DNA sequence: AACACGTGGAG
DNA sequence: TCTCCAAGTGT
């Protein structure tokens, strides 16, 4: 309810005033579909998979269609890998789609189609790591656990520690940092959602909008004059020409073709470096994202095979 | 611990 | 154009 902090008390540097944060969140919160009241824990799991390393704007059009098509773990598990990979589309990191599919199968088979609610069990599931396990426990089941993603790490680094950027991820330290800030159990989920939201739309990595920040009067970094990062910037690897790009091109061909394709069809997708193309294809086969048929053609795993042979 | 793993929008 | 980076996970 009311602010219990005396009005004449000076703001405490390095603190996060929960009233300031909540007041801001009340009007600033984005109306994201996976935050609606009738969204199930599984559907929240799907959103978390899609949001791993992927901007909200790219997930926005995909999630609703996915949920409408496969609303439960068992429905998802019943789909073919090919259908799942196609529905994933260009979200990136297709291994996530495969793991989501596997995760659905485990939950359907071993957990009676019900998403587990505790962090330790969640972390054992395919594709669910430290962040996603806590996000699901918190946002789907309202468990008061620290939820630490890149946004939270950045907000804490600045507001609490006065650092422009978070240091290297350390699960132990990161969780302790946030656990120390967590309000009572009934407010923990809202607190984490607000902290993530703040990092996503105000306390951004590139150009933070400190004038619009509800924490500007207590943010230690801001109070210290927003000192630049002292961390040495490691050389960034270019994407163009990497195996990742080649894998993406090969998968593009397979996604776009409703029937299995020939080796020649794949070969034209990347001609600049044959060795690299071979390596990329081998890794896709290894990852189970591509399947080689008995006749030497290739397709997404589990794809319907009665195609070109039937037309002969 | 460091690195691989997609994609595309923003500045 | 080119760099940065977006709700991480697995090895």
Q: Give per-residue pLDDT as tens, A116-174.
A: 999 999 999 999 999 999 999 999 999 999 999 999 999 999 999 999 999 999 999 99
Question: Distance from residue A44 (CA) to nucleotide C7 (C1'), in Å?
Answer: 11
* Extents of the domains making up chain A: 29-141, 150-224, 243-298
Residue A51 — pLDDT band, cuts 50, 70, 90?
A: very high
Q: What is the arithmetic mean of pLDDT over A196-206?
A: 97
Using the C1' atom of nucleotide C7, identify the protein residue whose alpha carbon is closest: A51
- Mean pLDDT along residues A256-278: 97
Closest C-alpha to A177, from A157, A199, A194 = A157
Whether A243-298 and A150-224 are alike in CATH topology: the answer is: no
Q: pLDDT tens digits, residue range A140-149?
A: 999 999 999 9
A89 touches strand B (CB under 7 A): no
Which residue has the least CA–C1' distance to nucleotide B4? A244
Predicted confidence band at A232 (pLDDT cuts at 50, 70, 90)?
A: confident
Name the CATH topology of A29-141.
Endonuclease III; domain 1 (1.10.340)
Domain covering A243-298 in this structure, CATH number: 1.10.10
- pLDDT, position A10: 57
User: Mean pLDDT over all residues of chain A?
Assistant: 93
Q: How far is the CA of A165 from the C1' of C5 (A)?
A: 13
**For A227-236, what is the mean pLDDT?**
83
Please state whether strand C lies within 7 Å of residue A204 at its CB atom. Answer: yes
- Note the CA–C1' distance, A130 to B6, in angstroms: 22
Q: Does domain A150-224 have CATH number 1.20.1070.10?
A: no
**Would you call A185 exposed, middle or buried from its count of C-beta atoms within 10 A (0-12, 13-18, 19+)?**
exposed
A191 or A3, higher pLDDT: A191
Nucleotide nearest to A251 (CA to C1'): B6
> What pLDDT was estimated at residue A306?
52
Is pLDDT at A5 greater than 70 in this prediction? Answer: no
Q: Mean pLDDT across the stretch A224-239?
A: 85
Provide the CA A168 to C1' B1 distance, Å, integer: 10
Secondary structure letter of residue A229 according to DSSP: P
pLDDT band at A233 (very low <50, low <70, confident <90, very high): confident
pLDDT for position A66: 98
**Token pair recorded at residue A264:** 């020649």
Our answer to whether residue A48 is catalytic in this structure is: yes
Taking the C-alpha atoms of residue A52 and residue A92, their distance in angstroms, rounded to an integer, is 10
What is the rounded radius of gyration, in angstroms, for the C-alpha atoms of chain A? 23
């Amino acid at each position: 309810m009311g602010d219990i902090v005396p009005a004449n008390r000076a703001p405490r540097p390095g603190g996060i005033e929960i009233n300031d944060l909540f007041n801001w969140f009340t009007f600033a919160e984005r109306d994201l579909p996976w935050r609606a009241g009738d969204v199930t824990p599984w559907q929240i799991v799907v959103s978390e998979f899609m949001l791993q390393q992927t901007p909200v704007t790219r997930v926005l059009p995909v999630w609703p269609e996915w949920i409408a098509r496969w609303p439960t773990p068992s429905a998802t598990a019943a789909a073919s890998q090919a259908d799942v990979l196609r529905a994933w589309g260009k979200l990136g990191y297709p291994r996530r789609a495969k793991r989501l599919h596997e995760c659905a199968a485990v939950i359907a088979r071993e957990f009676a189609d019900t998403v587990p609610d505790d962090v330790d069990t969640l972390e054992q599931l395919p594709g669910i790591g430290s962040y996603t396990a806590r996000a699901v426990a918190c946002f789907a089941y309202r468990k008061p656990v620290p939820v630490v993603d890149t946004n939270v790490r950045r907000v804490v680094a600045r507001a609490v520690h006065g650092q422009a950027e978070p240091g290297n991820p350390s699960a132990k330290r990161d969780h302790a940092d946030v656990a120390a800030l967590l309000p009572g159990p009934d407010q923990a989920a809202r607190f984490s959602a607000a902290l993530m939201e703040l990092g996503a739309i105000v306390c951004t990595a590139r150009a933070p909008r400190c004038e619009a920040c509800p924490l500007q009067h207590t943010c230690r970094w801001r109070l210290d004059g927003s000192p630049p990062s002292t961390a040495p910037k490691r050389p960034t690897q270019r994407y163009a020409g990497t195996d990742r790009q080649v894998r993406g091109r090969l998968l593009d061909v397979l996604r776009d073709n409703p029937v299995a394709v020939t080796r020649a069809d794949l070969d034209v997708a990347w001609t600049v470096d044959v060795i690299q193309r071979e390596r990329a294809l081998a890794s896709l086969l290894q990852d189970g994202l591509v399947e080689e048929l008995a006749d030497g053609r290739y397709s997404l795993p589990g794809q319907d095979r009665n195609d070109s042979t039937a037309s002969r």
